[in-house]
Structure 1
Amino acid sequence: MSTIVFLAVLAAALLHATWNAIVKNGVDKRTSMGAVVLGHVPFAALALPFVPWPAPESLPYLMTGILLHVGYQLFLMQSYRKGDLTQVYPIARGSAPLIVALFSVLVLGVRLEPMELLAIAIIGAGIISLSLVRRADGQRNANAAVLALVTGMFIASYSLVDGLGARLAGTSLGFYSWLAIGNGAVMLAFLGITSPRTLSLIPTKGKAVFVIGGGASFAAYALVTWAFTQAPIALVTALRETSIVFALLIGVFFLKERLDLGKVLSTMTTLLGAAVLRYSKQ
């Protein structure tokens, strides 16, 4: 993985942790999530005049990706209703690179070097170990952990679909811009049917999340989609999930969540995995 791709994915990780913290910190998780997803649309619309149309063979991946992103967002929203950012985020993001790596090697026939596989394993182990953390009241939160794991399965699925689709599309930004617009349209319809009140709150209470969260989320995944076309999807997915480090810092210092030795050790393990990945193969 080149230095520019490495740094781009790290920037995406910071942006991703930021918008997740915004959603978690919102009083109404549905309004916050809806604002972030709908906030993608203006940025995607601005990008479209400057990018080519995705190649036709990428359209099945585009349609599938839209549905997977919606599933991910709905499960993530429910997870944040049940658990802390510093528990939900690591499990959801940590399980994804392990699933992607396994599928890439066994099904897609992607060849990864032993050190690259070791780096993925270290990152995944460091992140998933946070599933052992307890809630503020000292009790384990099994419901949040299960929901976060399902969320991770959606993340792994859309990462593979989007990565393959962006490569076929011939334009990573064009592919993702249309995906973001489609995702926004489905979310708009979903909220309109299930929670019209949420839609009415987004222009008022959700305005800041719409602009800041939507912008951060769009920029983060635009970088990741580009990286999918430059490096193996499994490596990009693993490195992206170092966003746990940023999420931990945000959760502790801004959301006032509890910091303990287990979280510190898990974070250090994740950073070790990122270092191994960076220097495993130039």
Structure 2
Amino acid sequence: MTLQAVLIVLTAAVLHALWNAVVKGAPDKAVVLGLVALGHAVPALIALPFIGLPVWAAFPFIIGSTLIHWGYYWFLNTAYKHGDLSVVYPISRGMTPILVTVGAILFAGEFLPPIAWVGIVCISAGIGCLSLVGLGRNTSWVAVAAAFGTGLMIASYSIVDGIGIRLSGNILGYIAALFVAEIFVAGFIFATRWQRFVALPRRYVWAGLTGGVISGLAYGLVLYAKTVAPLGVVSALRESSVIFASLIGVMWFGEGPKSNRLLAATIVAIGIGLLAMTR
């Protein structure tokens, strides 16, 4: 894996942790998730006429990914409603690398060398250290179940988009079309929660829209990386965002305890190093 691809995905990881912190800090998470979806759709809609559409073979993947994202938003909203960022986020992201790697073998015929598997397992293990810190204390089992559901949705759309963008014939066109489709997510949320949107303080409206732009940029970078690197490796590197999210949870939201975070960061860093050496 090239250094450029590694840096692209790690940048996306930092951005991803930031927008999840925006959602966790909002008083009405469902409405803010609608604003995040709108923050995806509007810039993409403006850019699409200049970028052009992907080939028609990519559209079933765009539709499938959009439907899976509906489930992702539902599970994510439920998880953050009942649990801390520093616990929910590691659970939902920690299971993803292995699921995506197995899915890539089954659906894309993508086999990885042993060193890559060791790196992926290290990252998942490091993430697992973070999630175990608060289980049974600050997080309800509803949040845990929703976090697992979120992880399954992440793995599903990661595989669908990884295959779809490779077939698209137009990387930017695929990304833009995928984000434009999220207008339906935003429309549903606002149609069913309009009064809650009106009552939402304006600073959270702007935070949600900004979070959407940040989230779109993060996922766009990940999608590009999937065209030049194996799906499982990209997914594992992306999930290093849990280290950043955990630190945000501790420093921003005052979540605790702080133990085990250095160990988790070290294990994840070893995994990242191993993946960076994958060819």
- Normalising by structure 1, report the TM-score: 0.93
Tell me the residue number matched to 1:176.
Answer: 175
CA distance in 1, matches of 2:139, 2:82: 11
Partner of 1:133: 133
For 2:125, the aligned partner's letter is A
Quickly say closer, same or farther: Cα 1:182–1:140, change in 2 above 3 A: closer
**Structure 2 matches for 1:9-88, cutoff 5 A?**
9-88=9-88
> Does the 8 Å CA contact 1:72/1:154 hold for their aligned counterparts?
yes
Partner of 1:244: 242
Distance (Å, rounded) in 1 between the aligned partners of 2:216 and 2:21? 15
Aligned residue in 2 for 1:278: 276
SS state of the match for residue 202, structure 2?
Answer: coil
Please tell me the root mean square deviation across aligned C-alpha atoms, in Å. 1.8
- Unmatched runs of 5 consecutive residues or more in structure 2: none
Match of 1:225 in 2: 223
SS of 1:256's equivalent in the other structure is coil
1:104 aligns with 2:104: yes
Q: Distance in 2 between matches of 1:201 and 1:230?
A: 44
User: Hey, what's the Cα distance between the residues in 1 that align with 2:175 and 2:212?
Assistant: 14
Q: Does 1:122 align with 2:122?
A: yes
Aligned partners of 1:28, 1:139: CA distance in 2, in Å?
20
CA distance in 2, matches of 1:50, 1:235: 31
1:246–1:102 distance in 2 versus 1, CA, 3 Å? same
Give the % identical residues: 38
The range that moved more, 248-257 or 17-26, is 248-257
Q: CA deviation at 1:104?
A: 1.6
Give, in angstroms, the shift of residue 191 of structure 1: 3.7
Could you say what secondary structure the match of 2:110 adopts? coil
Of 70-79 and 172-181, more deviation after overlay is shown by 172-181
What does 1:192-211 align with in structure 2 at a 5 Å threshold? Answer: 192-193=191-192, 195-201=193-199, 204-211=202-209
Q: Give ranges in structure 1 of 5+ residues lacking alignment.
A: none
Contact 1:43 1:218 in 2 (8 A): no
The residue aligned with 1:167 is: 166
Structure 2 length normalisation: TM-score?
0.94
Question: Which digits, 9 at most, give the CA deviation of each residue in 1:27-59, with x for residues without a partner?
Answer: 111122111111112221232133231100111
- Matches of 1:164 and 1:33, distance apart in 2: 26
Which stretches of structure 1, 4 residues or more, deviate above 6 A after TM superposition?
Answer: none
Shift of 1:202: 6.1
Task: State the Cα deviation string for residues 240-279 of structure 1 (Å, max 9, x = none).
Answer: 0000111112111122211422233222211211111112
Aligned mates of 1:140, 1:209 — CA distance in 2 = 25
Do residues 155 (structure 1) and 174 (structure 2) align? Answer: no
**Structure 1 counterpart SS, 2:20:** helix
The 8 Å contact of residues 30 and 198 in structure 1, kept in 2 or not, is answered as no
Q: What's the offset of the Cα at 1:4?
A: 1.2
Q: 1:201: how far off?
A: 4.5
> Matched residues in 2 for 1:272 and 1:226: separation?
24
Following superposition, the deviation at residue 120 of structure 1 comes to 0.7
* Separation in structure 2 between the aligned mates of residue 247 and residue 131 of structure 1, nearest angstrom: 12
Residue 26 (structure 1) shift:
0.9
CA distance in 1, matches of 2:182, 2:204: 18
Q: Which amino acid aligns with 1:88?
A: V
Amino acid in the other structure paired with 1:61: F
Asked if 1 retains the 8 angstrom alpha-carbon contact of 2:40 and 2:215, the reply is: yes
